[in-house]
C-alpha cells in the first residue's frame, strides 16, 4: 500500500499502532486486516506539511519496535495524567494523534478490504439514516457564475 | 478579472456572509475571499474522514500547546454555520454585562441589541427542537435533570423541518444538512448575496494585507498561484485565529492582537447503559440546562453525541478497553459541560505559519468544569448508568477573541464602530471581537453584531 504523504516505514508503523487501538475480535477485524489504511491520503490531504513530517518520523520509529513495546508506549501515552507535567503534552499528542488517525479510518463508515465484514459500522449496527440530498441547482449555477475559483 | 472592489471580505463564515449580503444589498461591489470550498447539498462529504480533512483547518483538529484542548476550526463558505449544531441563543444580561465591563462599549445591553437580534431572527427560522422526536440520549438528560431538581429546556435551533418523522437523523448534518433544513448562512445570506452580484474567490487563502488609502490583499489560490486585490475598505471575518494570524503576519503592531482568546472548553462525559441508547437517532441534541445556579457557577450542560470517528478519540485507553467502548457505542449516552472560561489564552504564529495557541484552564475554570462533571454524573447515575467515562480531552468549538473590541485603544484591537483602532478602512465584527467568554452559544450574537456593523458603520 503506497501513500503520497507517508513513507513505507510510517505506513508499517501506522498498521502496528492501529492494531493497538483496534485489536479486532470474532466479530470485527483488526485495523491491519481491515485494509482501511488504503484511505490514508484522503485523511492527510489537508494536513500541514510540518505535521506530516512529524508523523513520518514518529511512525517510522514505531515501525521498528516490537508490538509488545508499542503497546507499553501507547498505554503510557494514554495514561498521561500520571506522567510528569513536562511530559504530558507530548504523550497526549502521540495518544490523540495516533488514536485519531487509526480510529477515523476505521470508524468512518468506509468499506474495508475484509470481505467477511466489509462495513464495520453496519456490523456495529450504527446506522443513522440520511434522506436524499436536495439538488440545489440554483446555488450550483450561482457558484459557477460568481466564484473566481470556478474559472481557474 | 476585476481586481479592485469597494469592499473585500476576508473569510466567508457566519459574520462574512451577513456582511457580504448587507453590502451588496446597498449596491457596493464586494469580493469575498475564503480559504475553504463551496460546500452545499450537492457536494457535502459523506464520510467522516473526508469531512474532517476538507471542512476544517489542518485536517480536523488543532491542539493547544499543552495538547489539552482540541480546537475545531471550520473552513468553507458559510464557515461554522454549515457544520455546527445550529443552536441559536440570545445573550442574557450577564453575558452583556461581562462584555460591557471588559470593553467599555455601550451597546452591549439587551435594549440596544434586541432589534439586531430580531433582524437576524426575521431571516432565520429558529424553533424549539421538537420534543416528540427526542431520542433516548435526550430522555436521559431530561429525566436526570428532573430527578436531581435541576432545570432544563428545549434547545432553540436554526432549522425549518428536519423531517425526523421520515427518518432523518440529524447527526448526519454535522457535515452539512442534506435537506437544507439547518439554517446555515449559505441558505440565509450567501445565496441572496450571490444573486445580488457578490463575487467570491473560494479556496483562496489570504496571506497578507497592506493598509493604505486602498487596502491591498495578497494571497494564494488552490493552485498556489499568487493574486493581489485592492479595495476601498476591508472587512476581516476570518474568525479568532484567522484574523489574529493575518494581522500578525501583516506586521500590525497592536500588542493586543491574539490576546484574550476564549473557547468555552467543552468536555463530554459518556455513560454506559445496559440497553441501546442509539444516540444518533432523530435530533442530535434536544435539551440544554436552563438553571440559574449553573449559570452563576459558570457552566452549562447539553445532551449531545458525535459521529463514531470523533467519539473514538474521546474514549480513554487502548486495546480491549477502548475497542469495547467503540463496539458498544450504541449503549452510550453523552452529556457535555461547556464552561464559561475566565482565563484568557493567546494566539501566536509559529515557524512555517503554524498556529500556536496557549490556553490553559486555571483553578476557577477547573472548578467550573468539575462542578459540571458532578452534575452530569448525578444525572447519569440517577438514570441507571453502569459507569460514567470522562472524555479524554477538551474541545474548543466556540473560538472567540484575539481582536477584542473596546473603547481603549491601548487595551483592545477594534473600536466601538467595528474599525481597527489605528486604521481608517479596516473593519471586523466576527467572533474575534469578543472581549471575553459569554458562556452562551455565540453564533446568534455574532450575526446580530455583524448586522449592526454593516447597517450602521461599515
Ligand atoms: C462543531 C461545531 C459546533 C458548533 N455549534 C454551535 C452552536 O450550536 N451554536 C453556536 O452558536 N455556535 C456553535 N459553534 C460555533 C460557531 O460556529 C462559531 O462561533 C462561528 O462560526 C464563528 O463565526 P465567525 O464568522 O467568527 O467565523 P467562522 O464561521 O469560523 O468563519 C471564518 C471563515 O474564515 C475563513 N478563513 C480563515 N482564515 C482565512 C484566510 N487567511 N483567508 C481566507 N479565509 C480564511 C475560514 O476558512 C472560515 O470559513 C460550533 C462550532 C463548531 C466547530
User: What are the phi and psi torsion angles at B436 (to 5°)?
Assistant: -160, -170
Checking if the pLDDT of A142 tops 90, the result is yes
Nearest to A93 among B48, B63, B168 (CB): B63
CA distance B291 to chain A (A): 32
Contact status of B3 with chain A (Cβ, < 8 Å): no
Q: At B31, is the secondary structure helix, strand, or coil? A: strand
Residues B124, B428: contact at Cβ < 8 Å? Answer: no
User: What are the phi and psi torsion angles at B332 (to 5°)?
Assistant: -100, 140
Give the pLDDT mean for A14-29: 95
Q: At B153, is the secondary structure helix, strand, or coil? A: strand
Going from the C-alpha of B394 to that of each of A55, B53, B404, the distances in angstroms are 22, 20, 24
Q: What pLDDT is stored for residue A116 in this prediction?
A: 72
Name the closest residue on chain A to residue B32, using Cα atoms: A147
Nearest to B49 among A24, A95, A104 (CB): A104
Q: What ranges do the domains of chain B cover?
A: 1-39+79-124+183-254+402-458, 57-75+128-177+264-397
pLDDT-derived band at B403, boundaries 50, 70, 90: very high
Q: What pLDDT is stored for residue A113 in this prediction?
A: 77
Q: At B445, is the secondary structure helix, strand, or coil? A: helix
pLDDT in tens, A24-83: 999 899 999 999 999 999 999 999 999 999 999 999 999 999 999 999 999 999 999 889
How many whole angstroms from A134 Cα to the centroid of ligand 1? 24
Q: What pLDDT is stored for residue B252 in this prediction?
A: 97
How many whole angstroms from B16 Cα to the centroid of ligand 1? 10
Q: What pLDDT is stored for residue A95 in this prediction?
A: 95
User: Which residue shows C-alpha cell 461599515?
Assistant: B458
d(CA B83, CA B56): 10
pLDDT-derived band at B428, boundaries 50, 70, 90: very high
pLDDT in tens, B252-292: 999 999 999 999 999 999 999 999 999 999 999 999 999 99
**Cβ count near A138 (within 10 Å):** 11
Going from the C-alpha of B79 to that of each of B65, B181, B186, the distances in angstroms are 24, 17, 9
Give the pLDDT mean for B301-306: 98
Which fold, B57-75+128-177+264-397? Cholesterol Oxidase; domain 2 (3.30.410)
Ligand 1 pocket at CB < 6 A: B 10-16, 33-36, 72, 74-76, 79-81, 83-87, 205-206, 237-239, 242, 246, 397-398, 430-431, 441-443, 446
Cα–Cα–Cα angle for B267, B338, B361, nearest 5°? 75
d(CA B441, CA B206): 28
Who's near B438: CB < 8 A, 6+ residues apart? B91, B95, B98, B99, B340, B445
Residues B92, B54: contact at Cβ < 8 Å? Answer: no
- Give the DSSP H or E segment for B233: strand B226-236
B interface test, pick of A4, A29, A40, A128 with most B CB neighbours within 10 Å: A128
Q: What pLDDT is stored for residue A118 in this prediction?
A: 73
How confident is the prediction for chain B on average, in pLDDT? Answer: 97
Closest CA to B386 of B270, B268, B272: B272
pLDDT in tens, B31-73: 999 999 999 999 999 999 999 999 999 989 999 999 999 999 9
Interface of B with A in 331-390 (CB under 8 A): 351-352, 354
d(CA B107, CA B123): 22
Strands (E), B37-151: 62-63, 69-71, 126-128
Going from the C-alpha of B435 to that of each of B20, B384, B385, B404, B422, the distances in angstroms are 24, 41, 39, 5, 18
Q: What pLDDT is stored for residue A1 in this prediction?
A: 79
CA distance A43 to chain B (A): 5
- Residue A10's Cβ-count burial label (10 Å; 0-12, 13-18, 19+) is buried
Give the pLDDT mean for B305-314: 95
Beta bridge partners of B326: none
Q: What pLDDT is stored for residue B438 in this prediction?
A: 98
Q: A–B: how many Cβ contacts below 8 A?
A: 204
Cell, residue B167: 427518518
Pairing of strands B199-201, B30-33: parallel
User: Which residue shows C-alpha cell 435537506?
Assistant: B179
B interface test, pick of A83, A142, A151 with most B CB neighbours within 10 Å: A142
pLDDT in tens, A92-108: 999 999 999 999 999 99
Provide the angle, in degrees to the nearest 10, between the axes of the packed helices A67-78 and A88-106.
110
- Express as a percent the part of chain B with pLDDT over 70: 100
Give chain B positions within 8 Å (CB) of A95.
Answer: 392
pLDDT in tens, A110-129: 887 777 767 888 889 999 99
- Residue A49's Cβ-count burial label (10 Å; 0-12, 13-18, 19+) is exposed
- Domain spanning B1-39+79-124+183-254+402-458: which superfamily? FAD/NAD(P)-binding domain (3.50.50.60)
Checking if the pLDDT of B185 tops 90, the result is yes
Q: What ranges do the domains of chain A cover?
A: 8-151
Q: Do B178 and A130 touch (CB under 8 A)?
A: yes
Amino acid at each position: 500500500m503506497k501513500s503520497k504523504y507517508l513513507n513505507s516505514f510510517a505506513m508499517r508503523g501506522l498498521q502496528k499502532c492501529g492494531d493497538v487501538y483496534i485489536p479486532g475480535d470474532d466479530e470485527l477485524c483488526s485495523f491491519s486486516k481491515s485494509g482501511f489504511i488504503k484511505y490514508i491520503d484522503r485523511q492527510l490531504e489537508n494536513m500541514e506539511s510540518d505535521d506530516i513530517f512529524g508523523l513520518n518520523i514518529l511512525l517510522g520509529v514505531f515501525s521498528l519496535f516490537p508490538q509488545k513495546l508499542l503497546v507499553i508506549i501507547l498505554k503510557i501515552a494514554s495514561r498521561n495524567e500520571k506522567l510528569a507535567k513536562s511530559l504530558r503534552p507530548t504523550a497526549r499528542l502521540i495518544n490523540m494523534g495516533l488514536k485519531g488517525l487509526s480510529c477515523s479510518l476505521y470508524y468512518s463508515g468506509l468499506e474495508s478490504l475484509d470481505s467477511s465484514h466489509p462495513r464495520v459500522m453496519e456490523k456495529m449496527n450504527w446506522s443513522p439514516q440520511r434522506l436524499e440530498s436536495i439538488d440545489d441547482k440554483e446555488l450550483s449555477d450561482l457558484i459557477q457564475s460568481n466564484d473566481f475559483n470556478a474559472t481557474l | 478579472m476585476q481586481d479592485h472592489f469597494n469592499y473585500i471580505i476576508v473569510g466567508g463564515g457566519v459574520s462574512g456572509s451577513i456582511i457580504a449580503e448587507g453590502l451588496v444589498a446597498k449596491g457596493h461591489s464586494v469580493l469575498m475571499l475564503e480559504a475553504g470550498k463551496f460546500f452545499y447539498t450537492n457536494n457535502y462529504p459523506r464520510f467522516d474522514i473526508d469531512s474532517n480533512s476538507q471542512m476544517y483547518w489542518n485536517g480536523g483538529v488543532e491542539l493547544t500547546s499543552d495538547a489539552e484542548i482540541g480546537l475545531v476550526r471550520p473552513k468553507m463558505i458559510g464557515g461554522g454555520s454549515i457544520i455546527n449544531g445550529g443552536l441559536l441563543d440570545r445573550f442574557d444580561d450577564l453575558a452583556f454585562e461581562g462584555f460591557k465591563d471588559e470593553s467599555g462599549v455601550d451597546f452591549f445591553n439587551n435594549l440596544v441589541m434586541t432589534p439586531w437580534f430580531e433582524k437576524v431572527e426575521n431571516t432565520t427560522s429558529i424553533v424549539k427542537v421538537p420534543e416528540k422526536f427526542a431520542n433516548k440520549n435526550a430522555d436521559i438528560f431530561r429525566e436526570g435533570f428532573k430527578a436531581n431538581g435541576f432545570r432544563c429546556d428545549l434547545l432553540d435551533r436554526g432549522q425549518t423541518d428536519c423531517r425526523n418523522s421520515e427518518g432523518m437523523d440529524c447527526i448526519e448534518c454535522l457535515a452539512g444538512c442534506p435537506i437544507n433544513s439547518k439554517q446555515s448562512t449559505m441558505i440565509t445570506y450567501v445565496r441572496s448575496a450571490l444573486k445580488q452580484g457578490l463575487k467570491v474567490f473560494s479556496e483562496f487563502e489570504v496571506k497578507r494585507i497592506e493598509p493604505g488609502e486602498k487596502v491591498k490583499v495578497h494571497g494564494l489560490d488552490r493552485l498556489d498561484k499568487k493574486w493581489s486585490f485592492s479595495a476601498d475598505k476591508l472587512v476581516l471575518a476570518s474568525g479568532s485565529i484567522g484574523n489574529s494570524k493575518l494581522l500578525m503576519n501583516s506586521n500590525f503592531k497592536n500588542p493586543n492582537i491574539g490576546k484574550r482568546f476564549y473557547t468555552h472548553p467543552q468536555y463530554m462525559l459518556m455513560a454506559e447503559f445496559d440497553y441501546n441508547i442509539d444516540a444518533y437517532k432523530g435530533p442530535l441534541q434536544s435539551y440544554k440546562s436552563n438553571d440559574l445556579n449553573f449559570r452563576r457557577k459558570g457552566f452549562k450542560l447539553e445532551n449531545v453525541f458525535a459521529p463514531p470517528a470523533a467519539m473514538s478519540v474521546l474514549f480513554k485507553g487502548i486495546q480491549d478497553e477502548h475497542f469495547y467502548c467503540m463496539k458498544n457505542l450504541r449503549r452510550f449516552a453523552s452529556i457535555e459541560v461547556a464552561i464559561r472560561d475566565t482565563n484568557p489564552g493567546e494566539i501566536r504564529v509559529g515557524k512555517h505559519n503554524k498556529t500556536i495557541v496557549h490556553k490553559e484552564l486555571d483553578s476557577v475554570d477547573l472548578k467550573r468544569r468539575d462542578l459540571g462533571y458532578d452534575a452530569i454524573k448525578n444525572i447519569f447515575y440517577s438514570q441507571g448508568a453502569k459507569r460514567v467515562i470522562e472524555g479524554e480531552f477538551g474541545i474548543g468549538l466556540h473560538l472567540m477573541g484575539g481582536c477584542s473590541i473596546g473603547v481603549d485603544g491601548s487595551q483592545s484591537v477594534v473600536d466601538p464602530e467595528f474599525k481597527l483602532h489605528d486604521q481608517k478602512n479596516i473593519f471586523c465584527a466576527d467572533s474575534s471581537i469578543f472581549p471575553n467568554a459569554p458562556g452562551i452559544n455565540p453564533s446568534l450574537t455574532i450575526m446580530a453584531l455583524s448586522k449592526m456593523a454593516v447597517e450602521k458603520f461599515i
